């Protein structure tokens, strides 16, 4: 529940008589149900015509983030341009759209990963290979008795892993604050990646548990090969198969 001040600021913005405002998109904790607290401010994208420059008006209660329609319709691929803004549109609430649906569709597209971008994230941006690299290093360190180093590499594997997991689902990885919320409220289709199963497994991976790392790898291996089969390719499976010392992932 947001504070009275934040609610009042949002109500004032929604009621504001300003013909230059073509759309309002509520983001942040206030757009995502029980994530909001009394300490939460309100983040609202204020969408105007294409002559407006990006900017922000900040107050303790509300952040008005000024974007043009053209800004909103520009979807920067993962790893390029301003792509890191994109998840802020996931599960955002369109409070006003006076463009015949252009703003609503642009918000949807910002938070969506299509087939082409899935391949871009998994292969061209090396997120699958990066995950394998750090998971391999973690298991190798654990095997050799370097437990601190194993935990550090296991922790480093997680951003790469989460990019892979969410890309396979056609989504962008959420900001860390929202990971448990998204897994609970918008479950992934893979049973092992449900909130109930995946969050405890991530805790074990963070602790450097080799068995958890191997279980996690096995699910990734299965799911990227399923993605390959669905897209008529072997590119992801080939990446996995290229790793030496595969027995670290699949001990006898």
pLDDT in tens, the chain (252 residues): 778 888 899 999 999 989 999 999 999 888 987 766 666 678 999 999 877 778 888 888 899 999 999 999 999 999 999 999 999 999 999 999 999 999 999 999 999 999 999 999 999 999 999 999 999 999 999 999 999 999 999 999 999 999 999 999 999 999 999 999 999 999 999 999 999 999 999 999 999 999 999 999 999 999 999 999 999 999 999 999 988 666 777 765
Q: Which three-class secondary structure state does DSSP give residue 249?
A: coil
Measure the CA angle with vertex 229, ends 226 and 235; round to 5°.
90
Sign of the dihedral through C-alpha 28, 31, 32, 37: positive
* Token pair in block for residue 95: 């409070």
Residues 6+ apart with CB under 8 A from 58: none
DSSP 171: B
DSSP 194: S
DSSP 134: H
């Amino acid at each position: 529940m947001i504070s009275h001040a934040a609610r009042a600021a949002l109500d004032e913005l929604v009621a504001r008589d300003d013909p230059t405002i073509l759309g309002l998109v509520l983001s942040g904790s206030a757009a995502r149900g029980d994530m909001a607290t009394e300490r939460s401010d309100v983040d609202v994208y204020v969408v105007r015509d294409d002559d407006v420059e990006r900017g922000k008006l900040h107050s303790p209660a509300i952040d008005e983030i000024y974007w043009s329609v053209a800004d909103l319709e520009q979807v920067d691929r993962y790893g390029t341009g301003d792509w890191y803004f994109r998840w802020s549109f996931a599960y955002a609430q369109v409070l006003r759209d006076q463009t015949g649906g252009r703003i609503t569709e642009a918000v949807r597209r910002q938070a969506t990963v299509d087939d082409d971008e899935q391949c871009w994230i998994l292969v061209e941006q090396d997120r699958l290979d990066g995950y394998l690299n750090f998971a391999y290093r973690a298991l190798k360190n654990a095997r050799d008795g370097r437990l601190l180093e194993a935990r550090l590499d296991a922790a480093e594997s997680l951003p790469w892993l989460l990019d892979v997991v969410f890309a396979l689902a056609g989504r962008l990885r959420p900001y860390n604050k929202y990971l448990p919320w998204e897994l609970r409220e918008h479950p992934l289709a893979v049973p092992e990646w449900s909130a109930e199963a995946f969050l405890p497994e991530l805790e074990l991976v963070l602790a450097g548990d080799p068995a958890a790392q191997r279980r996690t790898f096995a699910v990734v291996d299965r799911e990227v090969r399923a993605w390959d089969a669905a897209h008529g390719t072997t590119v992801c499976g080939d990446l996995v198969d290229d790793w030496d010392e595969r027995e670290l992932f699949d001990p006898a």
